[in-house]
């Protein structure tokens, strides 16, 4: 990482909503001008629909099920604060909209709001000013007209499912907010009962939620719990979401996937819709790599997330943790590119996923309206009267371990102990709303601690702690926020806790401007730096902050409050949604979507192959004909690869070369038996021509000699570079130096990935600024390595040499996966715009060796320019990797196996009939492949 600290709001995001909309409009106009297709729709994929559905009169009579009590949910696993929903509630008559069926006038579906993710849904709906909105989510448990019971999804008929979609099409949210209009479309996802609850109550709440909040499953679950037991349900639910999205997708849609319930969806959706523009927003914290790596399915989860074009988090620190995890756990490489700001990314086989952050706010206008509801003021006055003459400290949290209620109570006890003058003068009103699952152990601990504090510091006329374990009504909640003299919100770990922002807005309307004590472990803490930030584990620190807040002067309160209020009302949920849209739109014009290399079809290649008179094949080796492995010496060619090369070289019309970075010995050892195969070693430093035909005397072909292109070059620089490399090797555990005849390479694949990459960049900077401009060399950053080689030696020069010597070739296939292979692709860019023919001047690799040798070392008239027989449609430069990989190639395949499969198809062999074998070491153990 370039930095371990960034401001919570990036420069350029703390602007008005009108400015963001103007930027968005300008970006859309630019895309349209450049021919980028836009549909005007945003697909928001959430775990739940923000609607509870009750089926009053099913078309059949299925058995009624009691509403799930979630017996397997760990006691300390509540829902995500920003996007998960509490248990569904049977709709009250005055809240619900009852929709008649199409067949008769009998009411069938009753819809009512689902509470629990107001900030996210408010932000989504606000985009209706700009886009057509589609919210895709699980229906939730289908409630029946029988109280406290539900219907299994499998029992809901197709007729009733269609009726629900019709009902959702006319549904209007109950609150008459100006941003709630009819442009929002609700798309239900139907899940089998076992899959739905195995997904949410199982894997999400028993495994992912604890992990993301720095708890491991063994800390929160029973002794029989397994971190992997519900993964199949999680994967099945994610697949159902991906398939539902694919059904309604139209080109030009923007797709936002929300939160940790759906982390596999981006990759699954990418497989279904390769060109989709996908964003993933994670509302929870993201843990450090040392915590995340404990997850058994860590790679599947990370790969699922990296299917997106953009992964976005609440804070920079969360995004840094994610980037570090991808590098450390999966071995992927991080990248960075400069736009308006430095954008970090993760490179997976050429597909770069951008990693950014953008905080969620609250709907400030709605909260401000709610604080002025008629029912708020009477309750506010009642609280003032009840606690007259006393300072009020307010706390409102879900009852779970992560919210830090026990630690807060102990800190309040320490306040009364260390500052006894507050005894009888201050009360703590602590509201603990029930979590998704009951937590009797924690509830008992809280009750015992409250009783202890009240017994120790209370009296007949004074009770220091007032604990209410209940869900507050909206009027009561805003009255409590408005009347408080100090707000204390100190979770042990949290994402975007909206209560603190609602507190600031309520205090503005009441005129008190009371201070706020916040945990530094909240995602919002950097956002609200003018609050009193504390470590919730340090009870003395929290008690001291409470004391400072209660004694704070009016001027200091006002100054802090004004700054907090400006932040809360500027970066709202509406601004968040617009900034997300801007980020994802920017991806459409970037590397990820601007140019997608098409997949080369076998039929297209075969047709050109059959028509050609002379064919030229140029293959890289590692990552092209064989997968890259952790131990480079074990990258041996498979039976399929050897068969394909054998059949190609047997055809007299074909000329086949391996153009590799490997040394001569390796290529001879594994491919030397193929006499008709030409080989170039060390990135073009050496070449051995294929043996063609027999000798005049013995009737057998004579083995070609290796030609060294560096013999006439100044190679004294190798010692200077070696000295630099030795310096970094001493300081980078696990790194080593590889010295070849034409180049020198520093490898750090076995080093700590982040430290190795940092040292590589430092070494690269040193070589480029202090040595490269003095010597005829170039510095190349490869896959976990840094290579220095002569400028005159590269794969492109070898390709030019081969093509110059074979100008009659009218079919050229060139495949590679690495940055060094781009030199080959660049050399094969032979045609000017709209040109149908090309010529080639004698390349340096011809004049440097052949010209000099043929004339005994003396000069010779210049060699002629040759006309090439190949046409533009006969050149197939093919990159191995993702379609969005940055490359000069015109085509792509995804894996080395596909390269080999295409070659076998050209020689009329079905790859399925060829025996394959895993890569094995000498002991017969299968080697793990890498993804670079």
Nearest to 481 by CA among 429, 415, 542, 548: 429
As given in the structure block, the two tokens for residue 215 are: 């708890």
Tell me how far CA of residue 801 lies from CA of 43, 52, 343, 470, 709, in angstroms: 52, 70, 40, 80, 12
Beta bridge partners of 52: 112
Tokens representing residue 374 in the block: 């008629």
CA pair distance 655, 812, nearest whole angstrom: 10
- Residue-level length of the chain: 932
Determine the Cα angle at 801 with ends 850 and 877, to 5°.
170
911, 900 contact by CB (below 8 A): yes
- Is the CB of residue 518 less than 8 Å from the CB of residue 547? no
Pairing mode of beta strands 132-138, 41-48:
parallel
Q: Among residues 919, 827, 929, which one has the least CA distance to residue 877? A: 827
Could you tell me if 249 and 219 are in contact, meaning their C-beta atoms sit under 8 angstroms apart? no
Question: 3-state SS of 870-899?
Answer: CCHHHEEEEEECCCCCCCCCCEEECCHHHH
Contact 131, 42 (CB under 8 A): yes
The helix/strand count (H/E) of the chain reads as 30, 35
- Joined together, the tokens standing for residue 67 give 């509403």
Residue 484 tokens read as 């408080």
Assigned token pair, 147: 């109280």
Assess contact for 536 and 548: CB atoms under 8 A.
no
Q: CB of 884 within 8 A of CB of 590?
A: no
- Mark out the alpha helices in 731-864 (DSSP H runs): 753-770, 795-805, 822-827, 844-847, 850-854
**Sequence-ordered list of residues with C-beta below 8 angstroms from that of 776, at least 6 positions apart, any chain:** 713, 714, 717, 790, 791, 792
CA distance 780 to 786: 6
Q: Which of 628, 510, 501, 648 is nearest to 576 (CA)?
A: 501
Residue position matching structure tokens 């992560």:
402
Q: What does the block give as tokens for 540?
A: 């003395």
DSSP 209-230: HHHHTT--HHHHS-TT--TTTT
**Cβ burial, residue 855 (10 Å; 0-12/13-18/19+):** exposed
Strands 744-747 and 736-739: antiparallel
Q: How many CA atoms lie within 13 A of 540 on its CB side?
A: 1
Q: Which of 123, 134, 30 is nearest to 83 (CA)?
A: 123
Supply the Cα-derived Rg of the chain in whole angstroms: 33
Between CA 481 and CA 491, with CA 487 as vertex, the angle to 5 degrees is: 115
SS3 of the chain: helix, strand, coil, percent, to 5: 40, 20, 40
Dist. CA 890–CA 608, nearest whole Å: 15
Other CB atoms within 10 A of residue 723 CB: 9
Helix/strand/coil for 742? coil
620 catalytically annotated: yes
CA distance 892 to 894: 7
Q: Which residues contact 113 (CB under 8 A, 6 or more apart)?
A: 50, 51, 52, 95, 173, 174, 175
Rounded to whole angstroms, the Cα distance separating 208 from 201 reads 11
Q: Which of 201, 253, 475, 620 is catalytic?
A: 620
Active-site annotation, residues: 620
């Amino acid at each position: 990482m370039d930095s371990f600290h960034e401001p919570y709001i990036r420069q350029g995001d703390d602007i008005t909503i009108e400015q963001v909309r103007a930027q968005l409009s300008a970006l859309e106009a630019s895309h349209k001008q450049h021919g980028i297709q836009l549909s005007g729709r945003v697909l928001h994929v959430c775990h739940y629909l923000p609607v509870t559905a009750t089926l009053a009169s099913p078309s059949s009579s299925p058995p009624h099920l009691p509403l799930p009590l979630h017996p397997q949910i760990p006691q300390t696993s509540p829902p995500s604060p920003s996007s998960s929903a509490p248990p569904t509630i049977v709709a009250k008559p005055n809240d619900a909209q009852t929709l008649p069926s199409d067949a008769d006038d009998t009411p069938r579906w009753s819809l009512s709001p689902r509470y629990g993710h107001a900030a996210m849904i408010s932000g989504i709906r606000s985009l209706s000013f700009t886009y057509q909105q589609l919210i895709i989510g699980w229906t939730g448990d289908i409630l029946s007209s029988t109280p406290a019971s539900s219907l299994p999804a499998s029992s809901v008929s197709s007729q009733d499912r269609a009726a629900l979609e019709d009902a959702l099409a006319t549904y209007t949210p109950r609150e008459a907010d100006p941003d709630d209009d009819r442009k929002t479309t609700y798309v239900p996802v139907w899940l089998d009962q076992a899959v739905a609850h195995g997904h949410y109550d199982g894997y999400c709440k028993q495994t992912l939620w604890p992990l993301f909040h720095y708890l491991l499953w063994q800390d929160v679950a029973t002794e029989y719990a397994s971190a992997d037991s519900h993964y199949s349900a999680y994967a099945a639910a994610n697949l159902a979401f991906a398939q539902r999205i694919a059904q309604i997708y139209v080109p030009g849609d923007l797709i936002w996937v929300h939160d940790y319930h759906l982390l596999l969806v981006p990759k699954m959706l990418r497989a279904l819709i390769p060109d989709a523009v996908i964003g993933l927003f994670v509302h929870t914290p993201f843990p450090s790599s040392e915590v995340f790596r404990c997850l058994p399915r860590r790679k599947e989860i990370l790969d699922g997330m990296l299917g997106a074009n953009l992964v976005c988090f609440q804070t920079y620190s969360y995004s840094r943790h994610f980037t570090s995890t991808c590098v450390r756990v999966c071995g992927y490489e991080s990248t960075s590119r400069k736009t308006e700001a430095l954008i970090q990314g993760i490179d997976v086989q050429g597909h770069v996923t951008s990693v950014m952050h953008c905080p969620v706010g609250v709907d400030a206008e709605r909260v401000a309206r709610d604080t002025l509801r008629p029912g708020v003021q009477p309750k506010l006055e009642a609280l003032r009267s009840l606690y007259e003459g006393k300072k009020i400290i307010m706390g409102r949290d879900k009852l779970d371990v992560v919210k830090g209620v026990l630690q807060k109570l102990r800190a309040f006890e320490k306040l009364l102990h260390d500052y006894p003058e507050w005894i009888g003068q201050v009360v703590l009103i602590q509201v603990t709303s029930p979590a998704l699952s009951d937590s009797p152990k924690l509830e008992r601990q809280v009750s015992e601690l409250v009783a202890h504090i009240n017994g120790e510091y209370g009296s007949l006329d004074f009770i220091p702690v007032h604990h209410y374990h209940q869900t507050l009504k909206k009027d009561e909640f805003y009255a409590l926020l408005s009347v408080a003299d100090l707000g204390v919100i100190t979770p042990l770990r949290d994402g975007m806790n909206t209560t603190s922002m609602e507190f600031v807005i309520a205090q503005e309307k009441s005129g008190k401007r009371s201070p706020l004590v916040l945990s530094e472990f909240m995602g919002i803490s950097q956002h609200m730096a003018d609050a009193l930030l504390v470590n919730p584990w340090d009870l003395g620190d929290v008690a001291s902050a409470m004391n400072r807040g209660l004694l704070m002067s009016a001027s200091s309160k006002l100054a802090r409050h004004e700054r907090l209020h400006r932040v809360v009302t500027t970066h709202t949920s509406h601004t968040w949604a617009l900034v997300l849209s801007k980020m994802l739109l920017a991806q459409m014009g970037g590397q990820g979507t601007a140019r997608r290399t098409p997949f080369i079809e076998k039929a297209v290649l075969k047709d050109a192959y059959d028509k050609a008179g002379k064919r030229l094949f140029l293959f890289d080796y590692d990552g092209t004909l064989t997968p890259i492995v952790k131990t480079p010496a074990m990258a041996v060619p498979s039976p399929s690869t050897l068969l394909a090369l054998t059949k190609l070289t047997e055809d007299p019309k074909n000329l086949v070369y391996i153009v590799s970075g490997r040394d001569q010995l390796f290529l001879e050892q594994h491919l030397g038996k193929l006499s008709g195969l030409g080989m170039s070693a060390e990135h073009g430093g050496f070449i051995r021509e294929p043996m063609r035909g027999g000798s005049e005397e013995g009737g057998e072909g004579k083995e070609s000699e290796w030609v060294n292109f560096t013999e006439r070059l100044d190679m004294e620089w190798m010692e200077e570079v070696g000295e630099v490399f030795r310096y970094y090797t001493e300081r980078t555990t696990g790194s080593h130096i590889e010295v070849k005849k034409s180049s020198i390479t520093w490898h750090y694949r076995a080093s700590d990935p982040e430290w190795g990459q940092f040292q590589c960049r430092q070494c690269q900077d040193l070589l480029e600024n202090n040595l490269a401009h003095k010597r005829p060399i170039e510095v190349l950053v490869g896959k976990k390595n840094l290579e220095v080689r002569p400028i005159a030696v590269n794969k492109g020069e070898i390709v030019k040499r081969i093509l110059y010597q074979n100008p009659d070739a009218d079919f050229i296939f060139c495949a590679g996966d690495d940055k060094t292979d781009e030199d080959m692709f660049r050399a094969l860019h032979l045609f000017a715009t709209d040109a149908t023919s090309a010529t080639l001047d004698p390349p340096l690799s011809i004049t440097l060796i052949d010209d000099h040798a043929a004339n005994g070392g003396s000069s010779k008239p210049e060699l002629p320019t040759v006309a090439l027989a190949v046409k533009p449609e006969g050149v197939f430069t093919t990159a191995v990797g993702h379609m969005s990989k940055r490359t000069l190639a015109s085509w792509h395949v995804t894996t080395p196996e596909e390269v080999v499969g295409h070659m076998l198809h050209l020689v009329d062999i079905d790859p399925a009939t060829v025996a394959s074998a895993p890569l094995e070491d000498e002991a017969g153990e299968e080697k793990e492949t890498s993804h670079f």
